[in-house]
Amino acid sequence: MINSHTQAVVLLGDPVTHSLSPLMQNAAFKATGLNCAYLATRVKQTDIAIAVAAIPVLGFVGANVTVPHKKAVLPLMDVLHQDCQLIGAVNTIVNDNGKLKGYNTDSEGFMRALGDVGYQPEGARVIVLGAGGAARAVVVGMALRGVKEINIFNRSRAKAVALARQVQELGVSANVYDWSSLITESDSARQAFINANLIVQTTSLGMPPMESEYPPVPLKWLTDKHLVYDLVYNPPETKFLNKARQSGAKTVNGLGMLLYQGVTAFELWTRCAAPVELMRTVLRNELGR
Ligand code: NAP
């Protein structure tokens, strides 16, 4: 029941109507008996500074930030969490008595999702396909939590090189491979797959409107010693995951990352334990599985 004591959390993005966060977070507020409401608000790029300034003025608990504002919000924060600085994007804001604290819960969300399936990053060699914003969150999460080596494949080599440099600055070994090395089946690329136990698919391939496409990884390189994690969660099984599963790999879709970035944000806003299983059920029901 919304009343005069209800506290608000807002999603700032453009567009926002596709977002599953309002359903997931409002179900979590209800289940925990917190008098809070989560609203999705469409904010134009030219208005983002005004919208962020309104958070303390209107006494909002905090916010989520999504495309296209994640970078623009960074200089508007009073305090930035380490993950957020390294990723260069904010997806969660906490209003701490008028001070705006910026976080990025995607790294934590990804790592918690890996933990859910029993994957331990310490000392691992991993493959990352893609070098966009989501890849940055994934590699920062893994680099800060003990992986030994990150091997990056991206269509645009320059972006992969920049990401690898950042990984190296965190004291973790990083290598860059041309996207075409997957197609030509280069020896060095094959060796990287042999040495790795985790392959993270972070490109937009597999997501509508590219649902029939997938990275050109030779399927014979995928075995039952690999965990293949695809950040895409809709469709629940991308073509890439389907082929990886048929090659014997263990496969996981991106629903866990979506869930745990929300769980982490909920915990930051409320300082209460999130009803994780309820939030998972809400997402699964909404995505039809
Ligand atoms: P982004 O910053 O736009 O990066 C897109 C990535 O996909 C880049 O590496 C890009 O390569 C690559 N790519 C796009 N089209 C390609 C093609 N035709 N062939 C080869 N590579 C291609 O997007 P993002 O924010 O990183 O998001 C990427 C994916 O992750 C999306 O599907 C998104 O829904 C998903 N995601 C999931 C979660 C979750 O919670 N599960 C969270 C964040 C994102 P170039 O650099 O060469 O352009």
pLDDT beyond 70 at 30: yes
Torsion of CA 48, 53, 54, 57, to 10 degrees: 180
Mean pLDDT within 144-168: 97
| CA separation, residue 46 to residues 51, 216, 242 (Å) | 10, 39, 41
Whether 94 and 63 have beta carbons less than 8 Å apart is answered as no
Residue 189's identity, in one-letter code, is A
What does the pLDDT read at residue 78? 98
What confidence tens digit (pLDDT) does each residue in 5-16 have?
A: 999 999 999 999
Distance CA 206, CA 216 (A): 12
What does the pLDDT read at residue 1? 85
For residue 176, what pLDDT band results from cuts at 50, 70 and 90?
very high
Q: Which of 44, 70, 71, 220 is catalytic?
A: 70
Whether 150 and 169 have beta carbons less than 8 Å apart is answered as no
Q: In what order do the strands lie in the sheet with 99-103?
A: 36-42, 7-13, 62-65, 92-96, 99-103, 79-80
- Location of structure tokens 């389907």: 242
How far is ligand 1, taken at its centre, from the CA of residue 15, in Å? 17
Left if phi > 0, otherwise alpha if psi is -120 to 50, otherwise beta: which for 97?
left
Distance CA 112, CA 105 (A): 10
For residue 288, what pLDDT band results from cuts at 50, 70 and 90?
confident
> Does residue 159 have its Cβ closer than 6 Å to ligand 1?
yes
What confidence tens digit (pLDDT) does each residue in 201-213 have?
A: 999 999 999 999 9
Distance CA 13, CA 228 (A): 30
For residue 255, what pLDDT band results from cuts at 50, 70 and 90?
very high
Look up residue 122 and give its two tokens.
Answer: 């310490």
* Residue in 154, 180, 202 to alter for ligand 1 test, most ligand atoms within 8 A of Cβ: 202
Proportion of the chain above pLDDT 90, given as a percent: 99
> Does residue 153 have its Cβ closer than 6 Å to ligand 1?
no
What predicted TM-score, i.e. pTM, was given to this entire model?
A: 0.96
How far is ligand 1, taken at its centre, from the CA of residue 112, in Å? 20
Look up residue 230 and give its two tokens.
Answer: 């695809």
In the annotation, is 70 catalytic?
A: yes
Measured from the Cα of 253, ligand 1's closest atom is 41
Whether 45 and 86 have beta carbons less than 8 Å apart is answered as no
What confidence tens digit (pLDDT) does each residue in 69-115 have?
A: 999 999 999 999 999 999 999 999 999 999 999 999 999 999 999 99
Whether 230 and 240 have beta carbons less than 8 Å apart is answered as yes
> Does residue 234 have its Cβ closer than 6 Å to ligand 1?
no
b/e sequence 67-84, b meaning 16+ C-beta within 10 Å:
eebbebbbebbeebbebb
Measured from the Cα of 207, ligand 1's closest atom is 32
Indicate the DSSP class of residue 204.
Answer: S
Q: Spell out the residues 6+ positions from residue 178 whose beta carbon is closer than 8 angstroms to its own.
A: 153, 157, 186
| Backbone φ and ψ of 33, nearest 5° | 70, 20
Q: Across all residues in the chain, what is the average pLDDT?
A: 97
